[in-house]
A and B are shown apart, each in its own frame.
Chain A
Amino acid sequence: MDTAFTLNEGVEEGLKKILSSLLEKGKIQAAMVLDHTEGGGAAYSLITDPQMMAQTRPLLPLMPANAALALSRLTLKEPLSGPVAAVVRPCELRAFVELVKRGQGSLDHFIFISPVCGGVYPLQETLVKGGIEKKLPEYREAMRQGEIAVDIREACRTCEHFVPTGADMIVAAMGQDDPETHGTVFMQTDRAAELIQDLGEVMIAEKQTEGPLETDLIRKHQGLRRDQKKKLAQEMQLDQSGLDGLIEIFGRCIGCHGCRAVCPICYCELCVFESRDFEPKPVDFERDLSRKGRLRVPPDTLLYHLGRLNHMALSCVGCGSCTDVCPVDIPVSSIFIQVGESLQELFDYLPGRDPEEEVPFTKYETEEFAEFED
């Protein structure tokens, strides 16, 4: 349903005022949004005081950590007991849905507000002089024009799923006429419409949008993203990698497992690659040495990456946090996203599109994949 409200404010300010009002009226217990930090960056904040909404930056194009981690932490032990609004990007919401399917959280009582996403900047951008603030004017212009903002994460640049699915409200940060002055918010669920009901005095604009959410500008942007994805695939030629190619790509890896730690899908409290199963004993080294004569220590770098691909790529939402956290600049997301999409195509699966859709490894058909068996 394309019920929409156009506000007298730009998308970000409007959103802040909506949330502030909802907090004041007690319609939500808390709002989880990006908040500025002293270091010039941002971090998610669970806000209960309406006054504190004023300083937040809900639509700042930065992802310090995939919000799904926070959403899962909040509801790991139990579901929420009351309504909490959360402003999260489309991939963050999809990641949380994937976690919910695996018993790592609950969707109950959440009100998800998600923007049409123009992507986020790499974390390192906050460390450059001027930081994200310096990038904002060109970012907003790109959103207005339906163009891809320069310098956003590669994962974002090539992401086709920038229109949220599963959100209660969609903030049209792109696609409508004046997102900076008259933001439009689309209500996707009854619950959302209910919440917004008597927000009348909170700046509903004279001229209301008719909809739809997906305009020509959005479609143009989709095309641009698709082109970027194709271009990346052509540049990387991942299927020509083989062992040598993989060793080149992952050669610098120091085994810090940062990629696993920030991945929203990797929820195992003790990852198998950090468990005793993967701690070599002297006899293992002796055997390998006698066979090969020399081996890398600690061993099993490629095994870790190939293993992690097998374990989570099917649910990879392409957020790009892995690349950002890597201390040796390995483009982890470039590989994981391509492999993930290949798997997702094989199983006709899109992670997070539907909470009722089971993870493909947990079900089967009696006749399928004949091309893989002998």
Chain B
Amino acid sequence: MEEAFKPKIVGFLCNWCAYAGADLAGVSRLKYSASILPIRVMCSSRIDPLHIITALLNGADGVLVAGCHPGDCHYQQGNYYTRRRFAAVKRILETLGFEPERVRLSWVSASEGQRFAQVIGDFTRKIAELGPAPCRTEAFL
């Protein structure tokens, strides 16, 4: 019997907001899909497009970038740059038909434990629909 596909999502979470929000979800015992592999970064703008692409090419079913809401960045403007950089990555994937739906940018504040759980649930569902990443078994990358 084939096992149901369990999405593996790499989540880049900023230390001050998104990661704290995830912590809050945990502390509040909120139930959400164990699909995310959280990676804490100090600011979402630390994310180089290469991180997102490397994750995808290494077989991540989805990549989530989460940070503070625009205007609330711990470092003032970091997340504005994140947004631009992310828009470029997504547009590139779109232009190449490379499943742009597998990457997502969400803003989650430190007090939004519920929202974090919601974002994960929503994204996991979407990824489950897309199926496992084709890169997982591809030898010729």
Interface residues of A (CB under 8 A from B): 238-247, 251, 272, 291-296, 299-303, 306-307, 309-311, 313-314, 335, 338-339, 342-343, 346-347, 360-361, 364-369, 372-374
The distance in angstroms between the C-alpha atoms of A239 and B92, with both chains bound, is: 10
Q: A297 to chain B: closest CB distance in Å?
A: 10
The distance in angstroms between the C-alpha atoms of A293 and B140, with both chains bound, is: 12
Query: Known interface pairs A241-B98, A303-B53. Does A292 touch B86 (Cβ–Cβ under 8 Å)?
Result: no
- 1/0 contact string of B91-127 vs chain A (CB within 8 Å): 1101111110000111100000000000100000000
B32 near A: Cβ within 8 Å? Answer: no
Which A residues are in CB contact (< 8 Å) with B97? 238-242, 245
Which B residues are in CB contact (< 8 Å) with A240? 97
Q: A74 to chain B: closest CB distance in Å?
A: 31
Q: 25 A-B contacts, Cβ less than 8 Å apart?
A: A238-B95, A238-B97, A241-B98, A242-B96, A242-B98, A243-B98, A244-B134, A292-B136, A296-B139, A296-B141, A299-B141, A300-B57, A302-B57, A306-B92, A310-B53, A311-B49, A339-B92, A342-B91, A346-B87, A364-B81, A367-B70, A369-B83, A372-B86, A373-B105, A374-B104
B59 near A: Cβ within 8 Å? Answer: yes
The distance in angstroms between the C-alpha atoms of A346 and B86, with both chains bound, is: 12
The distance in angstroms between the C-alpha atoms of A310 and B91, with both chains bound, is: 10
B27 near A: Cβ within 8 Å? Answer: no
Known: A302-B57, A364-B84, A373-B105. 7 other contacts (CB 8 A): A241-B98, A246-B96, A299-B141, A310-B89, A361-B84, A361-B88, A364-B80
Count the B residues whose beta carbon is within 8 Å of the partner chain — how many? Answer: 40
B135 near A: Cβ within 8 Å? Answer: yes
Query: Which of these, B95, B119, B140, contacts A338 with CB under 8 Å?
Result: B95
The distance in angstroms between the C-alpha atoms of A339 and B119, with both chains bound, is: 29
Could you tell me if A303 and B57 are in contact, using CB atoms closer than 8 angstroms?
Answer: yes
Could you tell me if A243 and B135 are in contact, using CB atoms closer than 8 angstroms?
Answer: yes
B131 near A: Cβ within 8 Å? Answer: no
The distance in angstroms between the C-alpha atoms of A244 and B50, with both chains bound, is: 20
Could you tell me if B92 and A373 are in contact, using CB atoms closer than 8 angstroms?
Answer: no
Query: Known interface pairs A243-B98, A295-B139, A311-B49. Does A346 touch B91 (Cβ–Cβ under 8 Å)?
Result: yes
